[in-house]
Structure 1
Amino acid sequence: MKIFKIAMTSPEARRRTILVHSRRDLRVTGVLAWLIFTKHIAEQARAGLSIALIKLFLHDYGAYPFSRELATVLQQRQFDVLYAFNASLEGTPSGWLDQGGHRVQPIELGQPLRREKFIERWVLERRYGRLLSDAVAAEQPDVAVFANTPIDALVPVLRECRKRGIAIVVWVQDLLGVAIGQVLADKAGILGQVPAAWYKHRELECLRLSDAVISISESFTPYLAANRVDAQACSVIPNWAPVDEITPRPRANAWARQQQLDHRFTFLYSGTLGFKHRPELLAELAQAVAHRDAMVVVNSRGAVADWLRVQAAERKIANLQVNDFQPIEQLPEVLASGDVLIGMLAPDAADYCVPSKILSNHCAGRSQLLSLSESNPAAQLVLEHRTGYVASPDDAGSFIRAALSLMDDNAERLEMGRRAREVAEELFNIDKIALRFEAIFEDVAKG
């Protein structure tokens, strides 16, 4: 059933909603009901209130902070938002579930999904696609948006949307078909070429099927154009991080004291960690700064985090500390506990992946240390605004020298952190960003 929702413009008024049936249902109940409804709408308009007519199904597989913030802002405007995500994905935060004012639908697989278990992951992602399709069918939105959705899950849900006449928006965070091709080439060599081509084909078919494609980087545009994705349907909206949620905190804080970091120089990496991130650099960095009593702290989970723990034990790297993921509500204090915040990506991943954690790190107001190709948009952000140092992923020595330089120059490191927060406040204005999404969603909703 289509729902018309009266969206209040003040925070106090937004707590109250008025739900009515669709016009079609009102015709069944009679002209009188429709007259009452239209009179009520006119009264709301005179009171300075707006009417939300667009039902939006916003799905982000990993429930990242920026998509959650977008859902919150759109809910306050002319959208009735249902935010869906994979609640079984290892490391997905859940402390935010009662925030935002919009409806939330966690999609449960019944067992944890670990990215490094490829066969099990393939089975679970196909199951997830069926569950996601069921969720969309039950909601029957005007517009469905899909971000970070695995290709094996995206194919069936887009098919479901087409069958039901639901407008489709694919929000391209990574070029997953390209990424899968590189992983298969590394692991299976020539044997991986056929499945790699198949996944690339399937992803491109999904993008061609979409009513709109939103990419997070201009670097994706040539690839999309070369593969016949309609340029008229494509837009570029760079990612951001929530500046009101991730704010600068004192270096000496409760989390730092709990981890015994309040009096030790700390390099910190916090977020998902795969082998594409070049995790060996973290162990090498810890060894390089051990004689200066500096710490390298990693907050992550999964096979790579376990591998780092083994490295720390076998190589006796006492200053490499690997924690589990930390609660999302503690993220500002966690990031504030680092004197330098780290971002990493292997060179062959630079063309299809833009690490969003580097944007969150800017919100925290700390200097950045990246092992990343300079062509990557995240690296360009750091270089353009002088918020840290960028070293080539192929040059471990350059990465270590940049780290030592940040340790030695206290004044410049602090100035980099100040600039990082300044840049975040300038570029990550959610009201301006939301307007661009709003225009796209309105356009596709019109058909």
Structure 2
Amino acid sequence: MRLLVYGINYAPELTGVGKYTAEMAEALVARGHEVRVVAAPPYYPTWRVADGWSAWRYRCEVRRGVTVWRVPLWVPAQPNGAKRLVHLATFALTSLAPLALQWRWRPDVVMAVAPTLLCAPAALAMARATGARAWLHVQDFEVDAAFGLGMLESARAARAARAVERALLRRFDVVSSISGKMVDRAEALGVDRSKLFALPNWVDVETIRPLDRVSVYRRELSISEDAKVVMYAGNMGRKQGLEHLAKAAALLRDRTDICFVFCGEGPTKTDIQARCADLPNCRIIGLQPAERLNELLNLADIHALPQRADAADLVMPSKLTGMMASGAAIVAMASAGTELYEVVSPRGVVVEPDDGEALASAIVNLADDAPRRARLGAAARQYARDMLSPTSVFGRFEAKLLEGVYPETVGFAVENSVRDRAGASGATQDSGSGANSNF
């Protein structure tokens, strides 16, 4: 099978959509398929094109068996609503030529990854021109996110954007998303249920696993071995609500046995640094190398997943997968009825979004109750093993891809994916960091 993936983010980005798109592509190559990708140079989550890459040149490379076409784009140093739209639009325009070049390759499936939905029309056109199946994979409903977070406020613009979103989604042969609630959202936008498919983000539970020793990060960050570490690792953007975790750290500054670690990059990092500047119980570090991810996640006694109320059900934070696989207790902000609440509440602690005091109280209760931390961490780890392993996710994904291309091979693909290919997942950078969109 020949799969053409069209999306702005791709490895070597260590967090977010790019990480999962790359692992998906590499997994399919490992299973014997041909995969090509049209993407931008790596820039996320620092909002700066990585060293060794150009923002203004076209480039083609072969990365772990995947042919990747990189295209120019403008990356704003200080992203806001309008600048982000221009940023996404530049990618949609500069990617048209490399996308058109794939016509002679004749892909069997054209998959657009949202964000950005601005690329959906070109993906549909390519699929129709080549007779390929058109697949849209939604990591974030970016229209909802943009308006929900106040980045765009015009009522007229909202109506127009949502009308375009509805029209585009209905035209794809398959629309997938990363959680049940998000699949339901696609159905509410008018996508026929028969076209919908749940494709959750995954985690390699063999790579991300509990350690039988103390993480070396304790020594590197000068954290005593008896201190309880509360950690956030991921994108530092507006919807993460990190100000609430900073507030919890301020409220608990006199608890010398509790240390807060903020790890990541993003637009709000400067603000978090300012909030924590005078707090001796805080450590702030940048993104860590992928090969040290398990060491990093095992630094935490408690993983913290703050969230703003206005983003509460717009996305399913993909950083949650690594948190669960690491086997540490989790405290999350989520409202009842959201997917995040339903996943975390049976195997973690959940408080209402935008309530820093409730978050601080939950952290104290967990810090003072080691048996409960161990019990919740084990339950989260078991959920990751049962529901989020690459073998399970990629097996179902491959079968769905083949369903519309080679229907007679579907049963064979499912059987092989479970029995013979457990080690060929291609998941190379499993992360607890946030797979969240540019919004």
- TM-score, with length taken from structure 1: 0.78
Query: Which of the numbers 41, 45, 61 marks the counterpart of 1:87?
Result: 41
3-state SS of 2:254 partner: helix
The CA distance in 2 between the partners of 1:326 and 1:122, in whole Å, is 29
Which residue pairs with 2:66 in the alignment?
A: 103
C-alpha distance 84-269 of structure 1, shift in aligned 2 (>3 A): farther
User: Within 2, Cα distance between the matches of 1:114 and 1:417?
Assistant: 38
Letter in 2 for 1:129: A
Q: What do residues 197-238 of structure 1 show as CA deviations (whole Å, max 9, x unaligned)?
A: 222222222211211111222223443333321222112233
The one of 133, 152, 156 aligned to 1:167 = 133
SS at match of 2:253: helix
* Aligned residues of 2:109 and 2:133 also touching (Cα < 8 A): yes
Match of residue 271 from structure 2: 307
The aligned runs of 1:5-154 (5 Å cut-off) are: 54-59=1-6, 61-63=8-10, 64=17, 65-91=19-45, 101-105=64-68, 107-109=70-72, 112-113=75-76, 116-139=79-102, 140=105, 141-154=107-120
Question: Structure 2 CA distance, aligned partners of 1:240 and 1:114?
Answer: 31
Task: Determine whether 1:277 maps to 2:240.
Answer: yes
Q: Kindly tell me: are residues 138 and 255 of structure 1, through their superposed partners in 2, closer, same or farther at Cα, counting changes over 3 Å?
A: farther
- For 1:147 and 1:248, the matched residues in 2 are separated by 32
1:354-385 CA distance string (max 9 Å, x none): 1010111111111101012232223212223x
Greater displacement, 231-240 / 283-292: 231-240
Deviation, structure 1 residue 271: 0.7
5+ residue gaps, structure 2, are 11-16, 52-60, 408-439
Match of 2:168 among 202, 206, 217: 206
Q: Which amino acid aligns with 2:87?
A: L
Query: 1:266 Cα shift?
Result: 1.3
Looking at structure 2, the residues matched to 251 and 244 of structure 1 have their Cα atoms a distance apart, in angstroms, of 16
Check whether the contact 1:88–1:109 (CA below 8 A) recurs between aligned residues.
Answer: no
Question: Is 1:181 the counterpart of 2:147 in the alignment?
Answer: yes
Residue in structure 1 matched with residue 427 of structure 2 by the alignment: none
Q: Partner of 2:305: helix, strand, or coil?
A: strand
Residue 253 of structure 1 corresponds to which residue in structure 2? 215
Q: Which moved more, 1:217-226 or 1:407-416?
A: 217-226
> Which amino acid in structure 2 is aligned with residue 434 of structure 1?
F
What secondary structure is seen at the aligned counterpart in 2 of 1:337?
coil
Whole-Å separation in 1 of the counterparts to 2:127 and 2:175: 15
Letter paired with 1:71: A
Q: Give the share of equivalent positions with the same residue, in percent.
A: 23
Determine if the alignment matches structure 1 residue 241 to structure 2 residue 188: no
- Pick the structure with more helix per residue: 1
CA separation of 1:136 and 1:440: change in aligned 2, threshold 3 A: farther
Look up the match of 2:363: 403
Helix, strand or coil: the match of 1:246?
Answer: coil
Q: CA deviation at 1:145?
A: 1.7
Higher mean displacement: 143-152 or 220-229: 220-229
Closer/same/farther in 2, CA of residues 214 and 128 from structure 1, 3 Å limit: same
Alpha-carbon distance, 1:142 to partner: 1.7
Q: Is residue 88–residue 108 contact of structure 1 (8 Å, CA) maintained in 2?
A: no
Q: Which entry has the higher C-alpha Rg, 1 or 2?
A: 1
SS across alignment from 2:404: helix
| Distance in 2 (alpha carbons) for counterparts of 1:350 and 1:258 | 34
Q: Give the C-alpha shift of residue 393 in structure 1.
A: 0.5
Larger deviation: 393-402 or 80-89? 80-89
Distance 1:216 1:398 in 2: 28
Given that 2:45 and 2:265 are in contact with CA atoms closer than 8 Å, whether structure 1 keeps it comes out as yes
Contact map agreement 1:88 1:113 (CA 8 A) in 2: no
Is residue 182 of structure 2 the alignment partner of residue 220 of structure 1?
yes
Higher normalized contact order (CA 8 Å, seq sep 6+, divided by chain length)? 2
Q: Partners of 2:62 and 2:125 in 1: how far apart?
A: 31
- Displacement of 1:265 in angstroms is 2.1
In terms of mean alpha carbon deviation, does 148-157 or 420-429 score higher?
Answer: 148-157
Match of 1:421 among 377, 381, 392: 381
Pairing partner for 1:155 from 91, 116, 121? 121
Distance 1:248 1:104 in 2: 35
The CA RMSD over aligned residues, in Å, is 2.8
SS of equivalent to 1:301 = coil
Letter in 2 for 1:395: D
**For the residues of structure 2 that align with 1:187 and 1:358, how far apart are their CA atoms?**
25
Q: Which residue number in structure 1 is paired with residue 416 of structure 2?
A: none
Q: Secondary structure at the match of 2:268?
A: helix
Residues 248 and 357 of structure 2 are in contact (CA less than 8 Å); yes or no, is this contact kept in structure 1?
Answer: no
1:72 is matched by which residue type in structure 2? E
TM-score by structure 2 length?
A: 0.79
- For 2:248, give the aligned amino acid: L
